[in-house]
Every structure is written in structure tokens, then in C-alpha cells.
Amino acid sequence: MQYYQKNLLLKNNMKIGLICGCFDLFHIGHLNILENCKNNCDYLIVGVCNDAHIRLKKHKEPIINEQDRLKIINAIKYVDKAFLITNEETENKLQLIIANKVNIVFDGDDWKDDIRYKKLRNEGIEVKFFPYTKGISTTLIRNKLNERPL
């Protein structure tokens, strides 16, 4: 697994957070959610969905390749560790949580009813949702780009 980790000394009582996402066509909404995550934990880990996951789940070809998206996420000051994740890892976040000693998981509020988060809460993992930034999304950017004449 390729990952970036900034040099930080982890202490036992730290709140370690995890968020996973595609982060294609990085925009202000992505930055807002990463900032919100970091404001709610001491150490933020970001799982960047690999290209195969985007093709499988979103039925779209990523615009920015996985290595470049990983590099972009790593450059964000709120991110302490970033790595590529597969579809299997996003479906079973418990493995990522255990491997990285995560004690809080973040996501956008459109996922609040997902059964996987109920299962994580049952395992004693804190889950926190943030609202999406209004008026911006990767889909909106894609649509605007498709509307423009060449």
C-alpha cells in the first residue's frame, strides 16, 4: 500500500480520524470537509479511493489519476497521512480502522443512513457527519465542463 505520512509523534490519547473519498477534481467542498475533519481530531488519515473503485462505484472514469489525487491530498495541511484504498477497503472500513488505530470516522451527511456506519457505532467507533458545501461538487464541475464548447 502506497501512502504518505507526515512526521508526527502519535500519543495514546490522541483522537485519530479517518475519512475516505475520491477527491477527483479537487474543489472547495473537499477542502471544507478535510478542514472540518481536522478540527475534530488530532491526527487525520485520508483514504483516497483508487481509480478502479471510482469506475466500479461511480461508473465514471476519474479525471485526475489516483497517484495525482493522492499527491494533492497529501499536500493539504489538514492531512497527516494519506493512502490509496480499494473498493474492498471502503466497503469494510473496520479493517482500516483497526490497522490505523482510528477512533473517529468522518463522512458527508448524505451517508448518515448507511448501515456500515451503524455497524461501526456498534463497535464503539465514533462517527461524525458534515454537510456538503452548497453549490459545488465534482458532478457539477463535470457537467459545466461538458456544456462548454471546445
Confidence of residue 5 (pLDDT cuts 50, 70, 90): low
9 has pLDDT over 90: no
Region 38-46 average pLDDT: 98
Task: Give the model's pLDDT for residue 6.
Answer: 60
Region 16-45 average pLDDT: 96
- How many angstroms separate the CA atoms of 95 and 106, rounded? 15
Task: Give the model's pLDDT for residue 150.
Answer: 63
> Is the separation of the CB atoms in 33 and 46 below 8 Å?
no
Mind listing the domains of the chain with CATH numbers?
Answer: 14-147 (3.40.50.620)
- CA–chain centroid gap for 13, Å, is 23
Task: Give the model's pLDDT for residue 55.
Answer: 95
Q: In what order do the strands lie in the sheet with 104-108?
A: 3-5, 81-85, 43-49, 16-21, 104-108, 126-130
